[in-house]
Structure formats: C-alpha cells, structure tokens
C-alpha cells in the first residue's frame, strides 16, 4: 500500500484564489511527521511546512497552512491568495517514528499546480 497518496496529478487555480492540495497517508506508527515541499521548474526542493502527529493545532507558515485531519489520515496543503510564483510541483512526505534528529521521508508522487491570471 502507498504510504503517501496524492490523488491530484495536476491542479489549476486563478491568481489570488485559495487552493487545496490533497494528501492522505498510511501508517500504524503513533509518532509521525508530515511535510510539504515545493519544487519549481528550477528543480530545487523547498521546504514549506511541517505537522507533527501530536501537534494539537494545524501548522501555518505565511500563506501556507496544513489541514491536518488525523482520523481521516489526511494532511492537505492550503495555499491562500495564490501567486504566479506558486506554480510548481508540490510533494507531500511523511516521516515515521520519532523524529529526534530526523528520520527518512517517504514522498508522494506530487501535484503539479498551475496558477493562472
């Protein structure tokens, strides 16, 4: 079974609108972390946001927020007020087990986001 599932291979959104990128995960470990990365056409991987499994509140970083629904095992990324520069591939990833010092990440297949005028 896939540990990280991103069901949207591609998404379009109009500039200044909000967009939600879906991510569901599968783990039996009570301790895990969820990450979102942005990969623009230049190829670099840019860390956006992190949510720990024990965090009570949804993580937010500027225009990025993570809609964490633990019972549903979903960790959707919400981008508010989309900008043209948000056009990129977005990856959801999961770290299983205690993250003291970091553990390896398992990545989803990504969602290609295109922001239009």
Partner 1 sequence: DARVTQTPRHKVTEMGQEVTMRCQPILGHNTVFWYRQTMMQGLELLAYFRNRAPLDDSGMPKDRFSAEMPDATLATLKIQPSEPRDSAVYFCASGLVQNTQETQYFGPGTRLLVL
**Residues engaged in binding partner 1 (CB under 8 A):** 33, 35, 37, 43-47, 50, 52, 54-55, 91, 93, 95, 99-107, 109-110
Residue whose C-alpha is closest to residue 108's, from 76, 66, 86: 76
Q: Compute the distance between CA of residue 33 and CA of residue 24 in angstroms, rounded to an integer.
A: 13
Q: Which is nearer to partner 1, 12 or 54 (CB)?
A: 54
At its nearest, how many Å lie between partner 1 and the CB of residue 12? 22
Note the Cα 28 to chain centre separation in Å. 20
**Which residue number, 26 or 44, has a Cβ lying nearer to partner 1?**
44
CB 117 within 8 A of CB 13: no
The distance of closest approach from Cβ of residue 8 to partner 1 in the complex, given in angstroms and rounded to an integer, is: 15
Taking the least distance from each CB to partner 1, the nearer of 45 and 81 is 45
Q: What span, in angstroms and rounded, lies between the C-alpha atoms of 26 and 38?
A: 21
Asked if 105 contacts 50 with a C-beta cutoff of 8 angstroms, the reply is no
| CB nearer partner 1, residue 22 or residue 99 | 99
CB of 116 to partner 1, least distance (A): 25
Closest distance to partner 1 from the beta carbon of 64 (Å): 14
């Amino acid at each position: 079974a896939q540990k990280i599932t991103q069901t949207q291979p591609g998404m379009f959104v109009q500039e200044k609108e909000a967009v939600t990128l879906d991510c569901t995960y599968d783990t039996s470990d009570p301790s895990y972390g969820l990450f979102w990365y942005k990969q623009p056409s230049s190829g670099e991987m840019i860390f956006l946001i992190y949510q720990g499994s024990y965090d009570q509140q949804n993580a937010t970083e500027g225009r990025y927020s993570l809609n964490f629904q633990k019972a549903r095992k979903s960790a959707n990324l919400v981008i508010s007020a989309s900008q043209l520069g948000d056009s990129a591939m977005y990856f959801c990833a999961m770290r299983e087990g205690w993250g003291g010092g970091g553990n390896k990440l398992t990545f989803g297949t990504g969602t290609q986001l295109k922001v239009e005028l």
